[in-house]
Amino acid sequence: MKPSFQADKHLELLSKRYPTIEAARGELVYLQTLLSLPKGTEYFFSDLHGEADAFINFLHSASGGIRSKLKKLFQRTLTEDQQNDLAYLVYNPRTALKKLDEEGKITDEWVRIIIFRLIDLLKYVSSKYPLPKIQEKTPKEYANIINELLNTIVDEEDSDIYNQAIIFAIIEQEASIPFITALCEMIQNVSVDDLHIIGDIYDRGSGPHKIMDVLMGYPDVDIQWGNHDVIWMAAAGGCEVAIMAVVRIALRYNNFDCLEDGYGINLRPLYSYATDVYADDPCERFMPRIFEEDKQIARIDPEIAAKMQKMVAIIETKLEGQLYERNPDFDMEDRIVLKKVDFERNVFIENGKEYPMLDTNFPTIDPQDPLALSEKEQELVDSLKVSFTSSPKLQRHINYIYSVGSMYKIFNGNLLYHGCIPMNEDGSFTAMEFDGEKYAGKELMDYIYYQVRRAWFSMENSPERRKGQDFMWYLWCGKDSPLFGKEKMATFERYFLAEKELHEEKRNPYYIYSRTEEGADAILREFGLNPKFSHIINGHVPVKIKDGETPIKANSKLFVIDGGLSKAYQATTGIAGYTLIFNSHELALAEHHAFDPAKESGSYLPEIHVVKSMPRRLRISDTDQGREIIAQIYDLKALIDAYRRGDIRTDLY
């Protein structure tokens, strides 16, 4: 074979960026230096369920990490109370500064001292990160000022005079409050290198829109879709049954803030129709769940909310049945529950056995065609669909979830996903058939990712979009759905039937096998990971700490970090959520207590449980980023060799 004397096209493209040997060599030296820096800190959250106040506090405090660093830095110069005050300022700068301003405590001297303390803290938390990473997280409007304060030497007289002049100018221009706010928010951002959300941002709590606003302000975020996220994604895309499910859950938890204030969803037509149809119906089975602390601020009378919820629940059940009829491959005909009701005798028939209905008032159901929407119901559905699909904020948030989201993620050797990898009773992966093809394990998750994206990006009103949206409903509640993980969703049975055996939602065998080391190893191998070094990080199922459960399973190969951030689960779990922290020294679980915004201060620290200490401090060279840098180093070395051989002409001038 004759040797080729044509330059590598890849190297030719690289030479446009590094046109000389010295340019390539300079970048090579810089990249090699980066490899020796400590690995950044990763934070893992799961099942936020709209609890914005708690999540934002835990995030802004880096799960207590900022408070710990602050103590190390100022333990000899600040009292405990002063450290707490400074920590609270960092976590909640806007609230803290407003209060201090009202109390007349923001003097020129206070500003000078606080800025120097915040700069010292910023230097400390950013010391292990490369300069481009810090610049990426520096607020643009104050970038020059912050860079000067970070890089001048305060011990030298001229530098100290320069720093004082900068602060004097900040005070003179009345920029103290916005500048201090920017410093605090930069400290928050720098303290979290990579933020992983293991699903379920939405439902139950009142602030998912606030959570989304915060997430969109962080530079390095990924989201593994949860079942509650997918139903909102489908609703935002115009899926009618998903819209009804989202509205029903909001009504169930008396959550009007998210729908009306957060996303501008117009519930007035629903209010009018429900109070008309169920005027004399107490709708006792549909009374909303209201936590004690929320009773004084309920937006709508619970009895009216119950009527609205019943109205939506009936429409949702009809639309669900229609969806199963047009998708026989879902194998969900058994969940067309309205066709199991004998409306003349008011009984539900399951496997030949009759069960009396607890609620028998169904003025909008035609017993001869129970799945058909009335004209008024269709008008209501159409009205809500317009609200969901035309809400700018909702569309922006869901588009972001698509842009950074996926069914699973492999990051630094760990496997992240929300629900489960469907398994059979013998521990093998469940094969599911769609479009004549069977998918299991990783292939199933990849297929689902494709279908979910099709539901959003296909042309409006196209068959592909409709099919994708129907599939997202299957993900919400379908048998063997990896996001649901149960045999059935017994919503109808819980509303209308007393028998507990009909309420049971049997879990997928995954929840047995994944808890064993053998099962966790099989899952990790399925995704191409080495069980000796990798872990599974999972959410979805609350860990009942009060009953003796532990989030650490399968001999420390599986971490289930749904600890009950949602108030709806805290009576079950006994705590208020977990954060998993993976830094250069260790893998640790932060166990949070219930969050009270009225009492919370900078003294808050979760209980930290180290679950795995690293044999040595991890460096960037040990990470996915490090592998990318090593590949870049290889290319740069090849480019330098090509320059030296004359294969590529170098810019000599």
State whether residue 345 is helix, strand or coil.
coil
**What are φ and ψ of residue 455, in 5° steps?**
-65, -20
Amino acid at 81: D
* Closest CA relative to residue 393, chosen from 235, 236, 217: 236
- Extract the tokens encoding 384: 């809500």
Q: Quick one: average pLDDT of 240-264? A: 92
Report the distance separating Cα 85 and Cα 606, nearest Å: 17
Q: Using 50, 70 and 90 to split pLDDT, how confident is the model at 571?
A: low
DSSP state of 340: G
What pLDDT, on a 0 to 100 scale, did the predictor assign at position 5?
Answer: 46
On the question of pLDDT at 117 being above 90, the answer is yes
State whether residue 482 is helix, strand or coil.
coil
**Where along the chain do its domains lie?**
9-37+623-645, 63-191, 226-406+421-503
**Partners of 311 in beta bridges:** none
pLDDT in tens, 352-400: 999 999 999 999 999 999 999 999 999 999 999 999 999 999 999 999 9
pLDDT in tens, 56-96: 888 888 887 888 888 899 989 999 889 989 998 998 899 89
**Partners of 38 in beta bridges:** 619
What pLDDT, on a 0 to 100 scale, did the predictor assign at position 254?
Answer: 85
Give the count of beta carbons closer than 10 Å to the beta carbon of residue 158: 9
Which DSSP string corresponds to 296-332?
GG-SS-HHHHHHHHHHHHHHHHHHHHHHHHT-GGG--
Handedness of CA 15, 20, 23, 29 (dihedral sign): positive
Report the first-to-last Cα separation within the chain, whole angstroms: 37
On the question of pLDDT at 576 being above 50, the answer is yes
- Residue recorded with tokens 């469940």: 430
State whether residue 461 is helix, strand or coil.
coil
Of 278 and 291, the one with more pLDDT: 278
DSSP state of 612: E
On the question of pLDDT at 334 being above 70, the answer is yes
pLDDT in tens, 578-620: 788 898 898 888 877 765 655 556 666 677 888 889 999 999 9
On the question of pLDDT at 236 being above 90, the answer is yes
Q: Are strands 221-224 and 586-591 parallel, antiparallel or unpaired?
A: unpaired
Q: Quick one: average pLDDT of 178-193? A: 90
In three state form, how does the secondary structure of 394-436 look? HHHHHHHHHHHEECEEEECCEEEECCCCCECCCCCECCEEECC
Report the distance separating Cα 549 and Cα 409, nearest Å: 26
What pLDDT, on a 0 to 100 scale, did the predictor assign at position 653?
Answer: 42
pLDDT in tens, 414-468: 999 999 999 999 999 999 988 889 999 999 999 999 999 999 999 888 888 999 9
Tally of residues, the chain: 653
On the question of pLDDT at 7 being above 70, the answer is no
